[in-house]
Chain A
Amino acid sequence: MNDSVLQDIKVIDLTQNIAGPYCTKLLADYGADVIKVERPDGDPARRMGPFPGHEAHPEKSGIFLYLNTNKRGITLDLKSDDGRAALLDLVRDADVLVESYSPRVMASLGLDYQTLSAVNPKLIMTSVSSFGRNGRYSEYRASELVLYALCGMAYITGGYHREPVKHGYSQAQYLGGVAGASGTVAALLGLWRGGSGQQVDVSILECAISTLFTTFLEYTYAGNVTRRQPSEGSSLRYPAATKEGYILPTPGVMGDWDTYAAMADVPELQDPKFATPADRQLHSDEVDNLLKAKWLEKTAEEWFHHAQEWRFPFSPVQTMEDISGSPQLADRGYFVEFPHPAIGTLRYPGGPFRMSETPRRQAMPAPTLGQHNGEVFGGKKS
Chain B
Amino acid sequence: MTEALPLKGIRIIEPGQVWALPYAIAPLAAYGAEVIKVESAVRPDSSRGSPQPDAKVGNEPWNDGGMYHEANRNKLGIALDLNTDRGKELFKELVSVSDVVAQNFPPRVMRNFGLDYPELQKIKPDIIVLDSTAYGSSGPWQNYIGYGSSLQAVTGLTYVTGYEDSGPVQGGILFNDTLGALNATYAILLALAHRERTGQGQWIDLSQYEAGVAHLGEAFMEFAMNGEVPTRRGNTHPDHAPYNIYRCSGDDDWVSITVTSDAEWANFVRTVGEPWASNADWETSEGRLDQRESLDAAVGEWTATRNKLEVMHLLQAGGVACGAVYNTREIATDPHHADRGFFSISQHPEPVGARPHSAPLFGLTGVPKPLEALAPKFGKYNHQVFCNLLGKSESEFADLLEQQVIADIPANPGVTPPPDSAGLLRMGFLAERDAEYKSRLGI
Contacts and interface: CB of A to CB of B under 8 A. Distances in A.
Interface in B18-37: 18-19, 23, 27, 31
Which of A141, A196, A203 has the most B CB atoms < 10 Å from its CB?
A: A141
A253 B147 contact: yes
Interface string A150-176: 111111111110111111111100110
Contacts of A143: 243, 256, 258, 260, 321
Contacts of B190: 5-6, 30, 185, 355, 358
Given A146-B322, A232-B427, A165 B193 contact: no
B163 A202 contact: no
Given A225-B434, A319-B159, A50 B175 contact: no
A45 B232 CA distance: 21
Interface in A226-267: 226-227, 229-230, 232, 237-239, 241, 246, 248, 250, 252-254
Interface in A189-206: 189-190, 192-203, 206
A250 B323 contact: no
Interface string B187-203: 10111111011001111
A152 B234 CA distance: 16
A220 B355 contact: yes
Interface residues of A, number: 154
Contacts of B247: 163
A299 interface: no
A94 interface: no
Contacts of A132: 340, 363
A231 B386 CA distance: 51
B328 A353 contact: no
A98 interface: no
B223 interface: yes
B329 A50 contact: no
Given A157-B172, A165-B163, A196-B2, 4 more contacts: A149-B245, A155-B327, A178-B185, A277-B416
Contacts of A63: 217-218, 221
B321 A313 contact: no
A271 interface: no
Contacts of A229: 428-429
A142 B322 CA distance: 7
B14 interface: no
B218 A281 contact: no
Contacts of A343: 225
Given A52-B225, A232-B427, A145 B213 contact: no
Interface string B268-299: 00000000000000000000000000000000
Interface string B90-120: 0000000000000000000000000001000
Contacts of A76: none
A195 B206 contact: no
B63 interface: no
B432 interface: yes
B186 A26 contact: yes
A293 interface: no
A1 to B, nearest CB: 17
A282 interface: yes
B189 A189 contact: yes
Nearest to A217: B66
Given A187-B6, A194-B3, A250-B147, A331 B138 contact: yes
A249 B359 CA distance: 34
A319 B201 CA distance: 37
Interface stretch (A83-91, A104-112, A207-215, A370-378): A207-215
A179 B168 contact: no
A315 B153 contact: yes
B326 A219 contact: no
B374 interface: no
Interface in B58-112: 66-67, 70
B419 A278 contact: yes
Q: Chain A interface mostly helix, strand, loop or mixed? A: mixed
B169 interface: yes
B307 interface: no
A238 B320 CA distance: 35
B226 A54 contact: yes
Interface residues of B, number: 180
B182 interface: yes
Contacts of B319: 141
Contact of A217 (B18, B51, B335): B51
A348 B221 contact: yes
A379 interface: no
A166 B148 contact: no
Given A194-B2, A213-B174, A226-B328, A331 B140 contact: yes
6 contacts: A136-B339, A150-B326, A168-B157, A187-B6, A217-B67, A315-B153
Given A153-B171, A169-B160, A220-B66, A227 B222 contact: no
B239 interface: yes
Contact of B54 (A135, A222, A329, A354): A222
A188 B136 contact: no
A358 to B, nearest CB: 5
Contacts of B55: 222, 224
Contacts of A221: 51-54, 66, 352, 355
Contacts of B225: 50-52, 62, 343, 346
A276 B418 CA distance: 10
A101 interface: no
B331 A190 contact: no
A328 B135 contact: yes
Contacts of B372: none
Contacts of B260: 143
A352 interface: yes
A207 B238 CA distance: 25
A327 B139 CA distance: 8
Contacts of B185: 178, 182
A195 B366 CA distance: 9
Contacts of B359: 206
Given A163-B235, A182-B362, A317-B158, A152 B147 contact: no
B226 A50 contact: yes
B16 to A, nearest CB: 15
Nearest to A180: B362
B139 A331 contact: yes
Given A26-B186, A214-B51, A349-B220, A200 B363 contact: yes
A345 B323 CA distance: 40
A183 interface: yes
Interface in B207-230: 207, 209-211, 213-226, 229-230
Contact of A149 (B155, B320, B325): B325
A248 B140 contact: no
Given A183-B364, A278-B420, A66 B218 contact: yes
A30 B327 CA distance: 38
Which of B27, B321, B325 has the most A CB atoms < 10 Å from its CB?
A: B325
Interface string A128-151: 000111111100111101111111
10 nearest interchain CB pairs? A198-B366, A183-B362, A168-B160, A190-B6, A62-B221, A195-B2, A223-B437, A217-B66, A141-B321, A315-B150
